[in-house]
Amino acid sequence: RTSLIPILGDQLSMAISSLEGENPDASTVLMMEVADEATYVQHHVKKIAFLFSAMRHHAERLRSDGWHVEYVAFDDPDNSGSFTGEVARATERHAPDRIVVTEAGEWRVRQMLEEWPDKFEADVEIRADTRFLASHAEFEAWAEGRKQLRMEYFYREMRRKTGLLMDGDQPEGGQWNFDKENRKPAKRDLTMPQPLSFSPDPITREVLALVAERFGDHPGTLDGFDFAVTEADALAQQKAFLNHALAGFGDYQDAMLTDVPFLWHSVLSPYINCGLLDPIDLCREVEKRYRAGKVPLNAAEGFIRQVIGWREYVRGIYWREGPDYTARNFLEARRLLPAWYWTGDTDLFCLSQAIGQTLHSAYAHHIQRLMITGNFALLIGADPAEVQRWYLEVYADAYEWVEAPNTLGMSQFGDGGLLGSKPYASSGAYIDRMSDYCGHCRYDVKQRTGPDACPFNALYWDFLARNRDKLGSNQRLAMPYRNWDRMDAATQVALRNQAAGFLDTLD
């Protein structure tokens, strides 16, 4: 029996489940660069170039392993522009008995695949994505019957399941979570780690020319494209992280420094999410470094928690909550993002840093996403659908299963507290504590009102006051609401006017 095996752009693993047990001599692997995927949002040009190049390199790798691969390039004149259209053309060419595919990473594409059995003669088999630790059923079983879902408890299950950082049935070091140790501000220093840089080979250069020509109206720049596009190079970047940056990952996880985009972060998410790196292998390497005495426990635990805790947890939430999760808007926020989210051209220095580096590198680290761009969008009352679209567009690691829970749930409180127990809203003081941005800013982080006041300050109080009916009973906000209530009426009015004046400048 002959098989057609479509491999989607985020399935670039040799161990992908759709290939498991299949016979290369009776199979055609289909890979396709399609307009639907490249334009369902206006992806950053580096994100498209990265994926197209990684896909083309992966096709070569599959061929060298004996697979027959048909690769539909973006500018193929017969390219129909969609997964379903390309599978239809391939079934006409080959009349396969079976179509075998690994499940998609988002509802939009899942729904497409689920239509295939009705559309095509062949038997369609949609296989589970075994690159994740928790299957859909396991996550459901864990979540079932719990009054409140919290990452921390799910994470402990994943520690037990993998045995990562376990000492028998107890957590290594007697504690599951060392997050409290991971909040140090960083100092600039000449020995700071740097991710590797990979110069474009002929395949990548061809892709860069294609993307420059066809996606000129998308955000970002192709200048300085230096992503890894093969598994070997992604593994080299992984090794560089393990050897140089991991030791500081814990301490400086929340730190931000001017013109230092990567700090001690791994910058591996684009490779993990598209399949070039295996997240569990990576965690095992991290544990090895800890066991060998090369990195402290707070770094190893902190990193492993992000991957087997947060990453798996947000995926579980995404699929559990269903296709309308992304449309939620608990705070009924309706404002558009300012146009400078797509240019970085703003005099709020922290935002110009986070957005500027995003447009350049299609990367920002977690605290920039959460506490700079996310926090600001939350405070101004930006429409969470619009905020999700922005995050999906601009980051090379963005796929809806991981982007939406982080943006809608964690950052914008759009799900009303399902993902996080309180909104990640803060005034300028937090940003000043964790970064050196404020020293470079035209605003004064210590002032709350007046022409030089840091806009985050008044916006923060205005956010709390404006959303009191929705947030007032949240126990974790009791203290800030008490502080608000202790202010005299004139101060409250001045803060709200200051915020209103600033918001007017955004429209």
Q: Which two tokens stand for residue 102?
A: 């690994």
**Minimum Å distance from CB 369 to ligand FAD?**
4
Residue list 2-61, contact with ligand SF4 (CB under 6 A): none
Question: With binding defined as CB under 6 A, does residue 443 bind ligand SF4?
Answer: yes
Distance of CA 290 to the CA centre of its chain: 26
| Residue indicated by tokens 């005099």 | 347
Answer for which of 307, 333, 477, 499 binds ligand FAD (CB under 6 A) is 307
Q: Rg of the chain over CA atoms, in angstroms?
A: 24
Q: What count of residues does the chain have?
A: 507
Q: Which amino acid is at 17?
A: S
State phi, psi for 31 to the nearest 5 degrees. Answer: -125, 145
Q: Residue 434's closest CA among 374, 364, 479, 371?
A: 371
Three-state SS for 311-353 is HHHHHHHHHHHCCCHHHCCCCCCCECCCHHHHCCCCCCHHHHH
Q: Which two tokens stand for residue 177?
A: 């979570």
Name the segment binding ligand SF4 (CB under 6 A); options: 144-152, 230-238, 391-399, 428-436. 428-436
Using DSSP's 3-state secondary structure scheme, residue 284 falls into helix
Question: With binding defined as CB under 6 A, does residue 349 bind ligand SF4?
Answer: yes
Q: Read out DSSP for 187-256? A: ---TT----------HHHHHHHHHHHHH-TTSSS--TT-----SHHHHHHHHHHIIIIIHHHHTTTTT-B
Select from ligand DLZ, ligand FAD, ligand SF4, none the partner in contact with residue 10, using the beta carbon and a kind-dependent cut-off of 5 to 8 Å.
ligand DLZ
**Minimum Å distance from CB 303 to ligand SF4?**
27
Our CB check for ligand FAD shows the closer of 316 and 428 to be 316
Tell me, by CB under 6 A, how many residues bind ligand FAD: 28
Q: Which two tokens stand for residue 305?
A: 């928690």
Select from ligand DLZ, ligand SF4, ligand FAD, none the partner in contact with residue 310, using the beta carbon and a kind-dependent cut-off of 5 to 8 Å.
ligand FAD
Question: With binding defined as CB under 6 A, does residue 431 bind ligand SF4?
Answer: yes
Select from ligand DLZ, ligand SF4, ligand FAD, none the partner in contact with residue 426, using the beta carbon and a kind-dependent cut-off of 5 to 8 Å.
none
Residues 6+ apart with CB under 8 A from 252: 184, 185, 186, 263, 264
Select from ligand DLZ, ligand SF4, ligand FAD, none the partner in contact with residue 365, using the beta carbon and a kind-dependent cut-off of 5 to 8 Å.
ligand FAD
Question: With binding defined as CB under 6 A, does residue 234 bind ligand SF4?
Answer: no
Using DSSP's 3-state secondary structure scheme, residue 100 falls into strand
Residues 6+ apart with CB under 8 A from 192: 260, 263, 264
Q: Which two tokens stand for residue 91?
A: 């079934």
Q: Which residue is nearest to ligand DLZ (CB)?
A: 9
Question: To which H or E segment does residue 102 belong?
Answer: strand 98-102
Name the segment binding ligand FAD (CB under 6 A); options: 205-213, 285-293, 343-351, 399-407. 399-407
Tell me, by CB under 6 A, how many residues bind ligand SF4: 14
First-last CA distance in the chain: 61
Name the segment binding ligand SF4 (CB under 6 A); options: 13-21, 133-141, 170-178, 454-462. 454-462
**Minimum Å distance from CB 57 to ligand DLZ?**
14
Question: With binding defined as CB under 6 A, does residue 311 bind ligand FAD?
Answer: yes
User: d(Cα 55, Cα 60) in Å, to the nearest integer?
Assistant: 9
Residues that bind ligand DLZ in the complex, under the rule CB under 6 A: 8-10, 32-34, 37-38, 43, 48, 51, 104-106, 109, 399
Select from ligand SF4, ligand DLZ, ligand FAD, none the partner in contact with residue 104, using the beta carbon and a kind-dependent cut-off of 5 to 8 Å.
ligand DLZ
Select from ligand FAD, ligand DLZ, ligand SF4, none the partner in contact with residue 402, using the beta carbon and a kind-dependent cut-off of 5 to 8 Å.
ligand FAD
User: d(Cα 345, Cα 356) in Å, to the nearest integer?
Assistant: 8
**Minimum Å distance from CB 377 to ligand FAD?**
9
Our CB check for ligand DLZ shows the closer of 34 and 317 to be 34
Interface residue list for ligand SF4 (CB under 6 A): 348-350, 428, 431-432, 437-438, 441, 443, 445, 454-456
Binding site for ligand FAD (CB under 6 A): 265-269, 272-273, 303, 306-307, 310-311, 314, 365-366, 369-370, 374, 391, 395, 397-398, 402-403, 406-407, 410-411
